[in-house]
C-alpha cells in the first residue's frame, strides 16, 4: 500500500515543530478528510534556511509534510515555489490514489507560507518611508522647531538638553518626565 519512503517519513518525520519567529506561515486543510497542515519558514538572503511543520492527519499527510520540508530547505524562494504536488508524490515513491490529495496539501501549505512571507516583505517596503519620518522629526527641537544635530542632542537657540523618547523616538527635553508627543512616562 505505502512505499518504504512514505513509511519512513511517517515513522520518523523530519522538521516537525514550530518556528516561533517564523518569517512566513502557511496553513491549509481539507474538510473532507480532516487533514490540517501548517508550515513555518525562515528566510535568509532569499533562501529557505529552516522549514518546520505541524500536521494533523493520516500517515500520508505526515509523510508528505516531512518530505516537503526536506525538499524545500536550502532552496531559493523561487525554487521552492516550483515544488509541485507531483514532485512530492514522486519523491515519496508514490502514494495510493485515495491519498494523492495529501501531496496537494503539503505543497500548497509551503506555497502559502512563502506567499505570507512575500506579502510581509511588500508591506514593510510600503511602510518604510513612513518609518523614516519620525527619525527626520526626531532631529528637530520640539520647542523652537530648529534643527538639532543627532549626535549633539542640545538645542543652542533654546539652551535645552534633549533626548529621544524611548517610546516614540521624538526629541524631548532631558528633564521631561512624560513625553509630550506620546504621553508615555519616561
Stretch 126-138: mean pLDDT, rounded?
54
Judge whether residue 32 has pLDDT over 90.
Answer: no
The one catalytic residue in 102, 155, 165, 179 is: 102
Judge whether residue 3 has pLDDT over 50.
Answer: yes
Stretch 154-174: mean pLDDT, rounded?
77
Task: Name the pairing type of β-strands 160-164 and 171-173.
Answer: antiparallel
Please tell me the predicted confidence (pLDDT) of residue 134. 47
In 10 A of CB 53, how many CB atoms? 28
Q: In the chain, what are the domain boundaries?
A: 4-128, 138-186
**165 catalytic residue (yes or no):** no
Q: 99: pLDDT confidence band, cut at 50, 70 and 90?
A: confident
Please tell me the predicted confidence (pLDDT) of residue 129. 59
In what side-by-side order are the strands of the sheet with 36-44? 24-29, 36-44, 47-56
Domain 4-128 CATH class label:
alpha beta
In the DSSP assignment, the letter for residue 90 is H
Which pTM value belongs to this model?
A: 0.67
Stretch 68-79: mean pLDDT, rounded?
97
Please tell me the predicted confidence (pLDDT) of residue 64. 94
Please tell me the predicted confidence (pLDDT) of residue 117. 96
Amino acid at each position: 500500500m505505502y512505499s518504504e519512503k512514505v513509511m519512513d517519513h511517517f515513522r520518523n518525520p523530519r522538521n516537525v515543530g514550530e518556528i516561533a519567529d517564523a518569517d512566513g506561515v502557511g496553513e491549509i486543510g481539507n474538510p473532507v478528510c480532516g487533514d490540517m497542515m501548517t508550515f513555518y519558514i525562515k528566510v535568509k538572503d532569499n533562501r529557505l534556511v529552516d522549514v518546520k511543520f505541524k500536521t494533523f492527519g493520516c500517515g500520508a499527510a505526515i509523510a508528505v509534510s516531512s518530505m516537503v520540508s526536506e525538499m524545500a530547505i536550502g532552496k531559493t524562494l523561487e525554487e521552492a515555489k516550483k515544488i509541485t504536488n507531483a514532485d512530492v508524490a514522486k519523491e515519496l515513491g508514490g502514494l495510493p490514489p485515495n491519498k494523492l490529495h495529501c501531496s496537494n496539501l503539503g505543497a500548497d501549505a509551503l506555497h502559502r507560507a512563502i506567499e505570507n512571507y512575500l506579502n510581509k516583505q511588500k508591506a514593510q517596503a510600503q511602510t518604510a518611508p513612513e518609518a523614516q519620518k519620525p527619525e527626520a522629526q526626531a532631529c528637530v527641537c520640539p520647542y523652537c522647531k530648529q534643527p538639532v544635530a543627532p549626535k549633539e542632542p542640545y538645542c543652542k537657540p533654546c539652551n535645552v538638553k534633549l533626548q529621544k523618547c524611548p517610546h516614540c523616538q521624538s526629541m524631548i527635553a532631558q528633564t521631561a518626565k512624560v513625553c509630550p508627543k506620546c504621553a508615555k512616562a519616561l
